[in-house]
Amino acid sequence: MRKDAAVSQDRPSRTRHRAERSRSDEPVPDEELMRVIYREHAGPLLAYVLRLVAGDRHRAEDVVQETLVRAWKNVHRLNRATGSVRPWLVTVARRIVIDGHRSRQARPQEVDPAPLEVMPAEDEIDKALWLMTLSDALGDLSDAHREVLVETYFKGRTVNEAAETLGIPSGTVRSRVFYALRSMKLALEERGVRA
């Protein structure tokens, strides 16, 4: 058993002295009362809260701090109390832990942004260069080949829809698409793009 624990068992607690003084209508100054509450209850309260938060010391210290802040805000009520304030402190601490748990369950889980920093972002310059190269290669095609590629690949029309739009038979559209793609592949390879 620790020396200070043995001493506190041998003599009545200061909180009880405070309670006795308050019974005699002598109010204890708020600062002194908070020092007494901290000295007598902060250690045991921390041990209790550590069990509630599964050993997370930082969280436990935050809970104890918030509990003592609430005690300081309600010091006028604690000053008039006739018994120990520890049950009040324990109840407040337990409620803070419960409220914290509920609020963490209510919001989405936070994720670490570190993996996002490693992931490459889409480079707009590469996209712009690709579009410029593609446009340049399309310029090398004949008008007939360029028209069928624009209608089928870029506008997303079927062969029959492209044939109707261009006013040519669908077999001609198929044939021009085949030769246009072959010419486009050669034009891109000339520009250093592997198609």
How do residues 92-111 score in pLDDT, each as one tens digit?
Answer: 999 999 988 888 777 777 77
Average pLDDT estimate for 55-71: 88
Res 24: pLDDT: 45
Residue 115, φ and ψ in degrees, nearest 5: -60, -30
Average pLDDT estimate for 38-63: 88
How do residues 132-185 score in pLDDT, each as one tens digit?
Answer: 888 888 888 999 999 999 999 889 999 999 999 999 999 999 999 999 999 989
Q: Measure Cα distances from 175 to 145, 149, 164, 166, 183 in Å.
A: 10, 11, 15, 14, 12
- pTM for the full predicted model: 0.41
Q: In whole angstroms, what is the distance from residue 7 CA to residue 5 CA?
A: 5
Spell out the domains of the chain, with CATH numbers in brackets.
3-106 (1.10.1740), 124-190 (1.10.10.10)
What is the length of the chain?
Answer: 195
Q: In whole angstroms, what is the distance from residue 122 CA to residue 90 CA?
A: 53
Owner of token pair 């200061």? 14
The alpha-helical segments, DSSP class H, found in the chain are 3-10, 14-23, 30-52, 57-73, 75-80, 86-106, 114-118, 124-139, 143-149, 159-166, 170-190
116 — pLDDT class (breaks 50, 70, 90): low
Q: In whole angstroms, what is the distance from residue 181 CA to residue 125 CA?
A: 25
Owner of token pair 């004949």? 142
Average pLDDT estimate for 123-129: 79
